[in-house]
Amino acid sequence: MRIGLVASLAWQDYRNDAWLSACSVLALVAVIAPLLVLFGLKFGLVSSLTERLETDPATREIIPLGGGRFNAAFIEQLAQRGDVAFAVPRTRQIAATAQVGTLTLEMLPTAAGDPLLVGLPMPRGLDQIVLSHTAAEKLAARPGDWLETSFARQVAGRVEAQRTRLQVLAVLPLEAFARDGVFADLRLLEAAEDYRDGRAVPALSWDGDAVGATEQRVYPAFRLYARHLADVERLRVFFAGQNLLVSTQANAIAQVQSLSRNLSIVFWIIAGLALAGAFAAILAGVLAAVARKRRELSVLRLLGFSTAGLLLFVVVQALYSAGFAAVLSAGLYGLAEAGLNKLFVQVPGEYASHLLAPHYGLALAAVLGVSAVAAACGGWRVARIQASEGIRDV
Amino acid sequence: MLNLSAVHKSRGVGSQRYSLVIPALALRAGEQLAIVGPSGCGKSTLLDLLALVLAPDQVGRFEFDQVDVGALWRADQQSTLAALRSTHLGYVLQTGGLLGFLDVRSNIALSRQLLGLKDDGSVARLAEQLEISDQLGKKPTALSVGQRQRVSCARALAHAPQLVLADEPTASLDPLNAERVMQALLAQAREHRAACVIATHDEPLARASGLQVRRISCRRDTDGGVTATLGEAC
């Protein structure tokens, strides 16, 4: 049986019964459009929340609690893990400060790949820094400025200080870091720590005790960011296995994931019920159509249509309805999405309701699939249509 | 081309039984035959058997185009029977049997399209010969009964079948139209050298049209049922 001919005949019959065809399309739209809106809301809300967490690196930060003793090799191993986006050693917090004028700044080590410094130039060597937004405001500093910075220490009850000039490469946005701080190469922090420990810093010509050649540096902490939100919990478990207490945003992430999971359950329950209803409606529609078109179908059988050909005729008509309904539903959803986003979204880039192209594709495939199966189930009656029924009274 | 002997078909039981017996029926290419008889005598059952849409109960011999139709029914080869129907049979139904969702041109062309045949002009030619050329773009509902019958004739002939069956093709027509449709059908069948079997209660028209006439006669049996038998040419 020629599929093209069957599809063409089915289309001409479908068009001839335009009103009934429109009714079957609208019946499907009544199911599909609300489902799209529901899924759009679920996906839009959850993806906005997730994106908010994803775009804030602080959510993925894992902070070791208490004093630790980590060597550079261990932290380098952490940095090489697939679930770690960035890891760099930290020097002792008490030694990681710098004085600019009257302002004491927290010093943080940075390196290539630092999630807080995305898009900003990376400070290298001992004379470059990136300044936090609040610090830049208080110091009235701008990129390119040189800051006279001092590092003080107490040796045998005597206060000593050294000065160095640091160039501001960039200023961090406020949302990236809200405290007074500078981001600098680890070597600058190590220099400050060495100086405060009474050691000499030859690179900056600061006097002090000589550094032992074989002495291996021990770091009390590190800055570490998980690669993805889902990696945070995995890393927390890893560090717990190492008897290392860490602070994470795992709870906030779990809440969003739980919300996503629960909304998904609600959505799939509603979608399942709606699709079952749509299946029943299509099935009933096809049964009625087969009964209504019994004589036309029997004439087609008389002319040589096989049972498969007649079944295809019925299924193709259901697919026409499904296709039109999917397109119309997508259009209605588009309007609803625009309205919902206009009403409820305050932050640019976030969505109250949002669907991606694969979602539309999946919806189309689901509607076509359900329609085809329902029509095939309802169309089994065509097998019982005899050609002899068409011979008389048609 | 068509050869039947000792073909039986029964419906119902007891006093409700109806049996049709075809002792012998042979048709050669181009031969034209009218089956006459009163209403309910089994003319349509005979056509259903010849149209390969009704399975016989007993078959001595049932050959169509050298194909053993009895064996096809026994093996339930529905798809082969459907293919035989679409290739070799044309059917003119009592009130046209046209598909309402197709226009006249598409209705006529359908029997060719089902065989994958391109329109070689036969649709327009048949329409002209049957005087329905100006109706080709219309839907069947816009036609008179006589026009519908002529469209049905055109559809039955468009794919050049070997056998054309017609079930009371003139029953719904006034005498003038009945004669015109009958003549048109037979003339086209002759031109295409198609054998023709026409079931009709209008024996005078059949005879006037030059058809060989065979009558189905009925008798009531002892169990109260009816047996109808296809008689010889009369």
B97 interaction partners in chain A (CB closer than 8 Å):
299, 302, 390-391, 394
Q: With bands split at pLDDT 50, 70 and 90, how would you rate the model's confidence at A213?
A: low
Task: Please list, residue by residue across A72-97, b when 16 or more beta carbons sit within 10 angstroms of its beta carbon and e when fewer do.
Answer: eebbeebbebeebbbbbbbbbeebbb
Mutate to test the interface with A, among B46, B77, B99, B118 (most CBs of A within 10 A): B99
pLDDT in tens, B8-49: 999 888 888 889 999 999 999 889 999 998 888 888 889 989
Q: If we measure between CA atoms, which residue out of A271, A272, A275 comes closest to residue A373? A: A275
Does residue B119 register a pLDDT over 90? Answer: no
Residue listed under structure tokens 């959510």 = A59
Residue of B nearest to A383 (CA): B78
- CA–CA dist B124, A83 (Å, integer): 75
| First vs last C-alpha separation in chain A | 24
Cα–Cα–Cα angle for B142, A25, A298, rounded to 5 degrees:
50
Does residue B234 register a pLDDT over 80? Answer: no
pLDDT in tens, A136-189: 999 999 999 999 999 998 887 888 899 999 999 999 999 889 999 999 999 999
Query: What sign has the CA pseudo-torsion B142, B144, B148, B151?
Result: negative
Does residue A392 register a pLDDT over 70? Answer: no
CB atoms within 10 A of CB A28: 26
B108 interaction partners in chain A (CB closer than 8 Å):
none
Name the average pLDDT for chain B: 88
Does residue A286 register a pLDDT over 80? Answer: yes
Does residue A98 register a pLDDT over 50? Answer: yes
For the ranges A131-135, B42-46, B162-166, B180-184, which has the lowest average pLDDT? B180-184
Mutate to test the interface with A, among B101, B107, B119, B152 (most CBs of A within 10 A): B101
For the ranges A224-228, B45-49, B187-191, which has the lowest average pLDDT? B187-191
pLDDT in tens, B59-112: 999 999 889 999 999 998 888 888 899 999 999 887 788 999 999 999 999 999
Q: Nearest-CA distance from A391 to chain B in Å?
A: 6
- Report long-range pairs for B171-175 (Cβ below 8 Å, ≥24 apart): B171/B94, B171/B200, B171/B201, B171/B202, B172/B94, B172/B95, B172/B145, B173/B145, B173/B146, B173/B149
Q: With bands split at pLDDT 50, 70 and 90, how would you rate the model's confidence at A256?
A: confident
B51 interaction partners in chain A (CB closer than 8 Å):
302, 387-388, 391
User: In this complex, is the C-beta atom of B85 within 8 Å of any C-beta atom belonging to chain A?
Assistant: yes
User: In this complex, is the C-beta atom of B82 within 8 Å of any C-beta atom belonging to chain A?
Assistant: yes
Judge whether A42 and A256 are in contact, CB under 8 Å.
Answer: no
User: For A329-334, what is the mean pLDDT?
Assistant: 94
A296 interaction partners in chain B (CB closer than 8 Å):
99-101
Q: Do A305 and B95 touch (CB under 8 A)?
A: no
Judge whether A150 and A162 are in contact, CB under 8 Å.
Answer: yes
User: In this complex, is the C-beta atom of B99 within 8 Å of any C-beta atom belonging to chain A?
Assistant: yes
Residue of A nearest to B148 (CA): A394
- CA–CA dist A82, A102 (Å, integer): 42
Selection from A168-172, A358-362, B123-127, B208-212 with the highest mean pLDDT: A168-172
- CA–CA dist B3, B27 (Å, integer): 7
pLDDT score recorded for residue A393: 56
The amino acid at B151? V
Q: Do B97 and A386 touch (CB under 8 A)?
A: no
Q: Which of A9, A13, A304 is the closest to B86 by Cβ?
A: A304
What's the distance, CA A40 to chain centroid? 15
CB atoms within 10 A of CB A146: 11
Q: Nearest-CA distance from A280 to chain B in Å?
A: 27
Judge whether B112 and B122 are in contact, CB under 8 Å.
Answer: yes
Judge whether A68 and A118 are in contact, CB under 8 Å.
Answer: no
3 state SS of B227: strand
Q: Which of A5, A12, A304 is the closest to B85 by Cβ?
A: A304
**Which residues of chain A are at the B interface, by a Cβ-Cβ cutoff of 8 Å?**
2, 5, 9, 12-13, 15-17, 296, 299-307, 386-388, 390-394
Residue of B nearest to A15 (CA): B101
Q: Nearest-CA distance from A298 to chain B in Å?
A: 10
Q: What is the ipTM of this complex?
A: 0.85
Cα–Cα–Cα angle for B145, B170, A310, rounded to 5 degrees:
65
Q: With bands split at pLDDT 50, 70 and 90, how would you rate the model's confidence at A302?
A: confident
B77 bridge partner residues: none
Q: Which of B95, B100, B113 is the closest to A393 by Cβ?
A: B95
Q: With bands split at pLDDT 50, 70 and 90, how would you rate the model's confidence at A382?
A: confident
Q: Nearest-CA distance from A286 to chain B in Å?
A: 18
Judge whether A383 and A309 are in contact, CB under 8 Å.
Answer: no
Structure tokens at A281: 């409606």
Instruction: Enumerate residues 6+ apart whose C-beta is below 8 A from B186.
Output: B32, B196, B209, B210, B211
Report helix angle A3-16 to A18-55, nearest 10.
100
Q: Give chain A's length.
A: 394
User: In this complex, is the C-beta atom of B94 within 8 Å of any C-beta atom belonging to chain A?
Assistant: yes
pLDDT score recorded for residue B96: 81
What's the distance, CA B107 to chain centroid? 17
CB atoms within 10 A of CB A243: 6
pLDDT score recorded for residue A275: 85
pLDDT score recorded for residue A394: 43
Helix, strand, coil percentages (3-state) for chain A, rounded to 5, are 60, 20, 25
